[in-house]
A and B are shown apart, each in its own frame.
Chain A
C-alpha cells in the first residue's frame, strides 16, 4: 500500500482466555449483516438487470404487451446491420488510436519529471492533471468551440476552413485528441507514483555497473513498471469500449453523432429510444463480448512478452 497507516502501539493488548463463546455467535453473523445492504442492492440493481438484459436479448419486446421469443434473431439482425459494424469500428478506432500515444506520452512525461535535474514536479503535476478535473461534457463543448469550421479558434488562427467536426473522418481524430488531452494527466500521475516506488539504489547500482540511460530504462524501469502498464492498457480498453459522451457531444452537441463518428453504444441508445428493448440488449451483450476480446488481446500481448501476474 502506498498510504501508510500509522500503526498504533498495540503491544498493550492483553491475552485473555477465550471466555466469550456467546459473543462468537454474533461475530459469525456480523459479516453477513455488513454485506447485506450492498449485496441486496447489487442483486436488484446490477446482477438482476444483467440477467434480465440477457433474457430480453432473445425476445422481441416493445415495453408493453407480450414478448415474443426470437432465439438469436436480435443478435443476427444487429450483426447484419451495417451501421453496427461502422459504429463498432469507430469505437475500436477511438480506442486503438488513442491508447498507445496516451500511455507512451504520459509515461515519458513521468520519466522526464523524475529526472534529477528537473525541478518543480510539484508545480507541473496538478497542471497536467487539471484536464481530468473538468466535466467531460464541458470540455467536449469547449473543443467544439476550438474546432468549429467557420468560427473555431483553430481555423481562424491558421486561416483555414477544415470541416473538423462536420467531416466524420476528421472529427474522429479530434475525438482522439480530446481523449489523449483529457486523460494524459491521469496516467501521468499514476506512472509518476509508480516510478517513485522504484528504489533509487537500484538505478544507482545499474549506473555504477556502467548501464546507459537507455539500458537502465529497458532493463530496470520497464520491467518494474510492467504491472502498471498492464493495468493501464486493460483499464483504458475497458473504459474505451463504453465511450459515449465525448464523440456525441463533441460532434453533435446534445444529439447523436452521425454514424461515421458514432460509437457503438449509440446503437444501444437508438434501439432503446425506439422501444426495441430486445435488440438494444443484444447490442449491449455484443459489446461485452468485444470488451472481453479486446482485453484478451492485451492479455495475450503481455503474456507473449513475459509474465503477467
Chain B
C-alpha cells in the first residue's frame, strides 16, 4: 500500500521520507541510550573504589576492583541479611496475595450471589484512598501486638491487593462457564473446580499479577522504613541509602552503595529477562480493558 501511493509521488518526497526515517531511528537510539545509561553507570561505578568515583564518576573504571562486592557480601557493610529479608517478604507476600486474590476473583467472576455488586463496589471505592492513610493506625495496631520490626508487619498489609482481584476477575470472565459446568457434571466440588480448572487456565493472568506484585513489594520503601527499620528484619531498600563510611567523615560510600544497587536490581532484572513478555503484558492488562 505504501509503495502504491508513493509511485506517483515526485522524487523529493522520497528524500523527505528518508530524512524522517533517519530522524526516527535517531530518536529511538537516543531514547535507548538514555534509558540504559544510568544502569551502565551503576554497574561501572560498582567496580570502582570509593575514592575513584569522586574523580571519575562517569567513565570506565581505571582500576577495576571487587572490593565493593566483597564489602556487601562479607564486609562491614554486609547486605546479605537484608537481601534475604527482601526476598522472603516479597516471595511470601506475593504467593499469599495471589491465592487470596484468585479466590475472591473466582467468586466475583463465576458466581451470581446476593451482595456481589455491593462487595465489588466496596473494593472499587478504595482505589482512590492512599494506602499510606493506614500508616498511623497500623502502627498502633502492630505495636499493640508487638509486631513492629518483624516480617509480619511487612507482609500482612499487602496480601489483599484490590488490583489483583480486578485483574484476575477480568481474565476469569473470559473463561467459558461451560468448562466449569462440565466439571460439575463429572462430580467435581467447587474447590476442585477452582484449584484444578480455574487456576491452571488463569495461569497467564496469575503470572502477570505475580510479577506486578513482586515488583511493588520489592520496591516498598516508606512502609518498612516506618514499620521495620531494624537491620535484622529491614529490607534492602531501607538500609541501602544509609550506607555511610563509619571511619572517615560519615560520607556516603558510593562504590559500596552502587554495588548494593546492583544487588537490589539483579533479582528483578533476571525475572524481567526471563519473562519479558509477561512483564509487558502485565502493564497492558492493567491498562486496557475491552
List the interface of chain A (C-beta within 8 A of B): 1-3, 5, 7-8, 10, 13-14, 16, 23, 26-28, 30-35, 37-39, 41-42, 45-50, 52-53, 56, 63, 109, 112-113, 115-118, 120, 124-143, 145-146, 148, 150-153, 156-157, 181, 184-186, 189-190, 193-194, 197, 204, 207, 228, 231-232, 235, 238, 241-242, 244-245, 249, 253-254, 265, 268-269, 271-273, 277, 280-281, 284-285, 287-288, 291-292, 295
Contact = CB atoms under 8 A, between A and B. Distances in A.
Nearest to A178: B38
Contacts of B215: 133
Interface stretch (B27-35, B64-72, B73-81): B27-35
Contacts of B221: 136-137, 244-245, 249
A185 B35 contact: yes
B258 to A, nearest CB: 7
A277 B133 CA distance: 11
Contact of B284 (A56, A132, A189, A245): A189
A137 B107 contact: no
Contacts of B171: 1, 3
Nearest to B201: A5
B265 A138 contact: yes
B284 A138 contact: no
B132 A112 contact: no
B166 interface: no
28 contacts: A3-B281, A32-B107, A37-B104, A38-B160, A42-B123, A52-B134, A56-B137, A112-B28, A128-B35, A130-B35, A132-B283, A133-B215, A133-B265, A134-B265, A135-B236, A135-B265, A138-B42, A138-B240, A141-B261, A145-B254, A189-B280, A189-B283, A228-B288, A231-B288, A245-B219, A268-B135, A277-B136, A280-B135
A253 B240 CA distance: 9
Interface string B168-186: 0011001110110110110
Interface of B is mostly: helix
Given A13-B182, A125-B280, A194 B288 contact: yes
Contacts of A139: 38, 261
Interface of B: 1-2, 5, 17, 21, 24-25, 27-28, 31-32, 34-36, 38-39, 41-42, 45, 53-55, 57-58, 100-101, 103-104, 106-108, 111, 113, 116, 119, 122-123, 126-141, 143, 156-157, 159-160, 162, 165, 170-171, 174-176, 178-179, 181-182, 184-185, 189-190, 194, 201, 204-205, 215, 218-219, 221-222, 226, 236-238, 240-242, 252, 254, 257-258, 260-262, 264-265, 268-269, 272, 276, 279-281, 283-285, 287-288, 290
Contact of A37 (B103, B262, B269): B103
A228 B165 CA distance: 20
A224 to B, nearest CB: 12
A227 to B, nearest CB: 8
A59 to B, nearest CB: 11
B265 A181 contact: no
Contacts of A295: 128
B26 to A, nearest CB: 11
Contacts of A207: 1, 5
Contacts, number: 322
B129 A288 contact: yes
B288 A31 contact: no
A184 B51 CA distance: 33
B32 A128 contact: yes
Contacts of B178: 10, 13
Given A133-B272, A142-B261, A151-B53, A244 B222 contact: yes
B21 A3 contact: no
B138 A118 contact: no
A53 B190 contact: no
Contacts of B284: 2, 189-190, 193
Given A1-B290, A118-B25, A238-B127, A133 B268 contact: yes
B130 A34 contact: no
7 A-B pairs with the lowest CB-CB distances in the bound complex, closest first:
A284-B133, A254-B242, A153-B58, A31-B111, A52-B137, A138-B261, A49-B134
A207 B1 CA distance: 10
A284 B135 contact: yes
B181 A13 contact: yes
Nearest to B126: A46
Given A3-B171, A120-B28, 19 more contacts: A2-B285, A3-B205, A27-B190, A30-B190, A34-B103, A38-B100, A112-B27, A117-B21, A132-B283, A142-B42, A193-B280, A197-B290, A204-B1, A245-B219, A272-B136, A277-B140, A284-B130, A284-B134, A291-B130
Contacts of B2: 116-117
A272 B190 contact: no
Nearest to B290: A1
Contacts of A117: 2, 17, 21, 24
A288 B128 contact: yes
Contacts of B159: 41, 45
Contacts of A150: 54
